[in-house]
């Protein structure tokens, strides 16, 4: 499929022109402008979508865009139609309906593209994903280390050095908490090498930053042992709580969709919806258990 030369929306031109008949002094020019913008957007979207899913996306995109143009065609502009007997209240309702459809269209795009990205990410080899993570991490560390060095040499002023050191530590410590030994070691080696090239180390050898590889190794062992534990469940009225050791998640599964108040409470306590597990979950920790107790009002969980 030649994305650059394809003209996917040409058959919507007349519909686009009618969409602006009552709200533009030059419907054809407005239609051409909008179609060009949507055509560009569609081509960009298709570049992020696997070839096997592109036709499905094109058809859905055109269908939703057609609905959007139809909704717009019901709207008018008093400057175009003339103010005599213009029903402002009715037109306001139609404009609101159009903007609701516009928001729905954009939300559909975001969700579809996000789903495609997740699917592609799931098929990438672990080595490739890890290498990409390392590349992004080292790039970030390099920028922060350069900033610290410029502060040390007086080339840069007005910033708190400790904040940049803390940012480097926290970034790498996150990987250590997930047992990512190789990534942590490469990050520590990078800072050690950077230190060897400057007069004043950006992070001193006494800093706990250089202990992170050991912490990562211990965490990996802990996570490995936890994955071998059997899952545990606790039922409550309307659902159950699952200690999913393999996924390292505490999960709440409801028999029915929880109401808005419950969903808001779950989110405020760190739980997020997982389409994969059909559960509300967060990382499996003691704090997660305490949070589940609060949310579900259970004392013996």
Instruction: Tell me the pLDDT of the chain (301 aa) as tens digits.
Output: 555 556 899 999 999 999 998 888 898 999 999 999 999 999 999 999 988 999 999 999 999 999 999 999 998 887 767 777 778 888 889 999 999 999 999 999 999 999 998 888 778 788 888 888 899 999 999 999 999 999 999 999 999 999 999 999 999 999 999 899 999 999 999 999 999 999 999 999 999 999 999 999 999 998 887 777 788 899 999 999 999 988 889 999 999 999 999 999 999 999 999 988 999 999 988 899 999 999 999 988 7
* Distance set, CA 166 to CA 149, 171, 238, 291 (Å): 15, 8, 44, 28
Q: What is the pLDDT of residue 239?
A: 95
Q: What is the pLDDT of residue 127?
A: 84
- Report d(CA 266, CA 272) in Å as an integer: 7
For 9, residues 6+ apart whose C-beta sits below 8 A from its C-beta are: 35, 38, 39, 42, 62, 65
Task: Please name the residue that has the structure tokens 């729905």.
Answer: 104
Q: What is the CB-side half-sphere exposure of residue 22 using CA atoms within 13 A?
A: 17
Q: What is the pLDDT of residue 1?
A: 52
Cα 89 to chain centroid distance, Å, stands at 38
- Report d(CA 111, CA 45) in Å as an integer: 12
- Report d(CA 248, CA 185) in Å as an integer: 23
Q: Are 255 and 235 in contact (CB under 8 A)?
A: no
Structure tokens, 89: 């209240």
Q: Are 57 and 112 in contact (CB under 8 A)?
A: yes
Q: What is the pLDDT of residue 226?
A: 75
For the entire predicted model, the pTM comes to: 0.53
Q: What is the pLDDT of residue 225?
A: 79
DSSP state for residue 231 in the 8-state scheme: P
SS3 5: coil
Q: What is the CB-side half-sphere exposure of residue 48 using CA atoms within 13 A?
A: 16
Q: Are 48 and 113 in contact (CB under 8 A)?
A: yes
């Amino acid at each position: 499929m030649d994305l650059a030369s394809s003209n996917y929306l040409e058959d919507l031109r007349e519909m686009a022109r009618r969409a602006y008949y009552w709200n533009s002094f030059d419907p054809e020019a407005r239609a051409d402008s909008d179609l060009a913008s949507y055509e560009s957007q569609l081509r960009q979207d298709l570049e992020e979508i696997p070839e096997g899913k592109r036709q499905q996306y094109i058809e859905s995109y055109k269908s939703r865009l057609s609905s959007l143009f139809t909704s717009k065609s019901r709207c008018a502009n008093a400057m175009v139609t003339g103010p005599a007997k213009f029903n402002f209240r009715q037109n306001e309702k139609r404009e609101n309906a159009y903007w609701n459809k516009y928001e729905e269209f954009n939300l559909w795009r975001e969700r579809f593209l996000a789903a495609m990205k997740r699917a592609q990410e799931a098929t990438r080899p672990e080595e490739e994903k890890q290498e990409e993570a390392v590349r992004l991490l080292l790039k970030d560390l390099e920028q922060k280390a350069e900033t610290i060095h410029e502060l040390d040499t007086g080339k840069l002023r007005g910033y708190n050095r400790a904040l940049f050191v803390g940012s480097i530590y926290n970034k790498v410590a996150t990987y250590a908490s997930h047992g990512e030994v190789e990534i942590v070691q490469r990050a520590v080696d990078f800072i050690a090498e950077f230190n060897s090239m400057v007069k004043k180390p950006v992070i001193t050898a006494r800093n706990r930053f250089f202990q992170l590889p050991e912490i990562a190794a211990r965490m990996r062992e802990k996570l490995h042992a936890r994955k071998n534990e059997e899952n545990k469940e606790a039922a409550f009225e309307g659902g159950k709580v699952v200690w999913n050791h393999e996924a390292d998640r505490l999960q709440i599964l409801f028999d029915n969709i929880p109401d808005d108040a419950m969903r808001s409470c779950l989110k405020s306590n760190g739980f997020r919806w997982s389409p994969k597990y059909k559960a509300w979950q967060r990382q499996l920790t003691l704090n997660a258990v305490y949070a589940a107790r609060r949310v579900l009002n259970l004392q013996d969980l």
